[in-house]
Structure 1
């Protein structure tokens, strides 16, 4: 299953990761890198690579959905819906070779990454 693969890959490649907060940050950054590669593959008309990179992003987003803690309140439900919508956009980008959908997903994850960094920095300062 993609979701376990994504988590295991990040865990194995980053043995020195000390906190779940850092892992989430790395997952967001991974999505941004994979999307950049997928967009480049669309421009290059490389269907195989486009599919590969979009699948990598999908795997990470699926893992983000799987690790949500619904005991933490409404934010988990909001993120679940947001992540699911991003998966849908990536599927559409893959089907229609639409790099604007990839850009939209990347914008969302840039915003999430910035917010995540800010919130974890504040929490670490307390």
Structure 2
């Protein structure tokens, strides 16, 4: 679905990557890592770091939207809507210092990562 677009974007930045599937996995993992840092920052009342980490997660999700393949139809449309909703949740989490909303985003990306890994394990 994301395929060569994601791989080409990474290749343009001279970053070696095993495969487009691995890139998506890394992006999902990045959201989870950055959300964990944002959660820690909220608990520590560190506004600057909270904003920084939430912005990093948002940037990854925005990239995931950019590399969606509209030719994949319903799946692509569904993911675009889901990703946009997750961006809204991140914005609310940051504005409200709301760990529950941040956890909700992380739970969605944990599920996406698990499903992605299962799909790509079957494909290989």
Q: TM-score, normalised by structure 2?
A: 0.89
For 2:54 and 2:114, the matched residues in 1 are separated by 22
- Structure 1 position 16, deviation (Å): 3.2
| Deviations, residues 62-102 of structure 1 (Å, cap 9, x unaligned) | 00000000101200000000000000000000100001100
- Structure 1 position 13, deviation (Å): 8.7
For 2:18 and 2:109, the matched residues in 1 are separated by 22
Could you tell me which residue of structure 2 aligns to residue 117 of structure 1? Answer: 117
Q: TM-score, normalised by structure 1?
A: 0.87
- Structure 1 position 14, deviation (Å): 8.3
Could you tell me which residue of structure 2 aligns to residue 71 of structure 1? Answer: 71
Could you tell me which residue of structure 1 aligns to residue 103 of structure 2? Answer: 103
Q: Which runs of 5+ in 1 are unaligned?
A: 1-6
Could you tell me which residue of structure 2 aligns to residue 4 of structure 1? Answer: none
Could you tell me which residue of structure 1 aligns to residue 54 of structure 2? Answer: 54
Describe the SS at the equivalent of 1:103.
Answer: helix
Describe the SS at the equivalent of 1:59.
Answer: helix
For 2:40 and 2:12, the matched residues in 1 are separated by 27
Could you tell me which residue of structure 2 aligns to residue 29 of structure 1? Answer: 29
Q: Which runs of 5+ in 2 are unaligned?
A: 1-6
Describe the SS at the equivalent of 2:24.
Answer: helix
